[in-house]
Structure 1
């Protein structure tokens, strides 16, 4: 989801600050549009991929994802000869600390997401990524002092009503949806502290590197007890290949996003981000045949109304910006 900052299974709630809105980011840049749409479509199909790895537990899948993402990123770093940027990141305590924190947050996000998909709760994951932009707006108001515009306040209020409907119907908080939205919202908040100083590849490399020792320690414990997915009757060449591919599968859409957002307007990025949760919800309903209760349909419809208000406000704000070369 990020990613001048790496996204878990969904992109950042808003485009990175570096995304231009001028002639260099014209909507006619077909390559940029293709990159942005490509990354969101790939993220939207992630539930199908993780279903193929279901024989491995959620924690083991995330462990492999961390290890092989690090391997992929180191390979790309060598290919691009961007070792100086990586060296600067790991030798600057402030940057390293922030990326270690963001690595923890994105790992939690990944873990909850994979658990949701492989426990038949993909619709809950989709709801989390629908409300993520609204959570990000609230976090920005709380921690960065940004003021909510009236329309944003209305959107957040409608989303809160949607959550209340689910709580009343289920008798419990929709913890998967809220965990995904909060972990990714906090992830974006933390990443904002180093945003312009660390490129996407370097950030993902350091984040994965900080968490890989934890993954390796877990593997040591798991396989010492003979409980690994690649041991015994559950093992297969296809499963092993799928776990190794978790690295490039994670890195490719992130790099597409980082490259694409430099070429297209914020409006395209902001609107395209909803492709992923729409695809996730459709997969949950039409492919995985998850049970979606009437209360969930009501809450989902309310969230879609909130999203519509949010998008309308976004488009209105963008329409008021002066065009390059013109004066208001």
Structure 2
């Protein structure tokens, strides 16, 4: 198997796992979303620490501690991914799987918009068209829901900002996930301690109180978090950016199917129209990306063919 084909396999497995995450996180009920999030953070730290220990790769911590700006960036990234994870868990366990799918459908458009507003990037005409169609879709969905689809917008904005920060840093995926989870570990541990001691508003912690299967699934949430991220990293190093951009739609398509077909969440005509506009925007965005990549490849080939004087 070629290296690129192996990358596509890694990407396919990663996005398929993310697509079926709603089923996994619904299985963690009756634990409340914050308890699930706290355990997801803590077990992610444990699992990645074991991976890094097996690789004997801890030297990055010294560089991190010597670079306050990098440490600050990772801390901000940790807060954003914590918001993203928490919002996702809350939405899944509040029967809003369809809205999570919408969030990840519009994430690429949010990333492009952040590139314009933050990085001062210049968009091509078709990219502006895609963003305009996406904005119209959000307006139609807001009318359908009776309010802004805040779950979808929070997921898209938090992950878009997270991606922007990660783009400016140079930590490999395993090391990055370890540090981000470690930053969140202390508040997660404090919350779980309070939940066990004080009982909280929902009757206390459910971890270890429901069943052996529930306890094991909570522990395994760290593995479930880390494995697709590591597979994605393997895909990103082997697959062209355009191919990776197309693969990313697998997860929200599967999430939408899970929400509608498995959990029977409503999909009225207005909502379907809004999703249709989102898909049109993504088709425009993807076609523009493919055209741009082909033009850049032709230009590189032409430049390489020029005689050297």
Residue ranges of structure 2 left out of the alignment (5+ in a row): 304-309
Does the aligned pair in 1 maintain the 2:207–2:218 contact within 8 Å? no
1:230-263 Cα distance to aligned partner (Å, 9 max, x none): 265xx21111100100111111111111112111
Matched, 1:202 2:179: no
Could you tell me how far apart the structure 2 residues matched to 1:42 and 1:323 are? 35
Q: When you count helix as a share of all residues, which structure comes out higher? A: 2
2:270 maps to which residue? 295
Could you tell me how far apart the structure 2 residues matched to 1:143 and 1:305 are? 25
1:256 maps to which residue? 231
Could you tell me how far apart the structure 2 residues matched to 1:47 and 1:270 are? 22
Does the aligned pair in 2 maintain the 1:166–1:295 contact within 8 Å? yes
Matched, 1:225 2:202: no
Which sits farther off after the overlay, 203-212 or 261-270?
261-270
1:94 maps to which residue? 69
Does the aligned pair in 2 maintain the 1:89–1:95 contact within 8 Å? yes
1:39-91 Cα distance to aligned partner (Å, 9 max, x none): 11111111111111021111110100000000111111111111001332244
1:103 maps to which residue? 78
Does the aligned pair in 1 maintain the 2:3–2:238 contact within 8 Å? no
1:267-313 Cα distance to aligned partner (Å, 9 max, x none): 21010000000000010010111112221111001101101100110
2:307 maps to which residue? none
2:48 maps to which residue? 73
What is the CA-CA distance between 1:94 and the residue it aligns to?
1.1
Could you tell me how far apart the structure 2 residues matched to 1:188 and 1:212 are? 21
Give 1:118's match in structure 2, choosing from 66, 89, 93: 93
Aligned length: 299
Does the aligned pair in 1 maintain the 2:208–2:215 contact within 8 Å? no
1:278 maps to which residue? 253
Does the aligned pair in 2 maintain the 1:27–1:265 contact within 8 Å? no
C-alpha RMSD of the superposition? 1.6
TM-score, normalisation: structure 1: 0.88
Residue ranges of structure 1 left out of the alignment (5+ in a row): 1-25
Could you tell me how far apart the structure 1 residues matched to 2:61 and 2:223 are? 19
1:96–1:283 distance in 2 versus 1, CA, 3 Å: same
SS of residue in 2 equivalent to 1:54: coil
Give 1:48's match in structure 2, choosing from 1, 23, 27: 23
Could you tell me how far apart the structure 2 residues matched to 1:27 and 1:187 are? 31
1:84–1:323 distance in 2 versus 1, CA, 3 Å: farther
Could you tell me how far apart the structure 2 residues matched to 1:172 and 1:192 are? 32
What is the CA-CA distance between 1:323 and the residue it aligns to?
5.7
TM-score, normalisation: structure 2: 0.93
1:101-250, aligned counterparts within 5 Å? 101-194=76-169, 197-226=170-199, 227-230=204-207, 232=209, 235-250=210-225
SS of residue in 1 equivalent to 2:30: coil
SS of residue in 1 equivalent to 2:287: helix
SS of residue in 1 equivalent to 2:264: coil
